[in-house]
Structure 1
Amino acid sequence: MLKIFRLTAILEGISYLLLFGIGMPLKYLAKIPEPNIYIGYAHGFLFMAYVVLAALFCLEQKWGLKRFVILFIASLLPFGTFYIDKKYLKPLAVSAN
């Protein structure tokens, strides 16, 4: 579960940066909306997967609501999921080995 959640967190963070760093400027500044459609769908799917996996992972780890809220808020902030991976997930992966 940890590997899947870490991968999803990283991919969600990348899709967030692509959407707002590339997709939105192309749409609003260059008037090219097509890339935003595909990036938006990918980001939406990854965001939903991240939230569901965060909830399941918190249950599995017996983390409380406070930790879930932190994970959720991180998904709304640029670079937030990268922070979550470094602060909470990577130490778990290292200790599991």
Structure 2
Amino acid sequence: MSARSWFVTFWAVLCVGGLMATTLLDGESRAPEKPAPSIRPPLEVDCELLALRLEEDEALAEAARQSDGRSGITQRWYGVPEECAGRM
């Protein structure tokens, strides 16, 4: 096979590969966009029940601290949902 034949064959293979890649990429971009599936459904939060449980927890901690005769400051951090943050 001559050099010219190799060059023409190589060029044809590149052109066909480029056309196939373009067709695949165009097909993906035209596909209808599906919404991402939700991993977990949104939870409904009862902020008043959460606040009541936090108050009970604090009361139990205070009672335990007084029964031990300890004095001092105890700092606790609580994570609450955004919808309840203003109510706590």
* TM-score with structure 1 setting the length: 0.32
Which has the greater radius of gyration? 2
* TM-score with structure 2 setting the length: 0.35
The answer to which structure has the higher helix fraction is 1
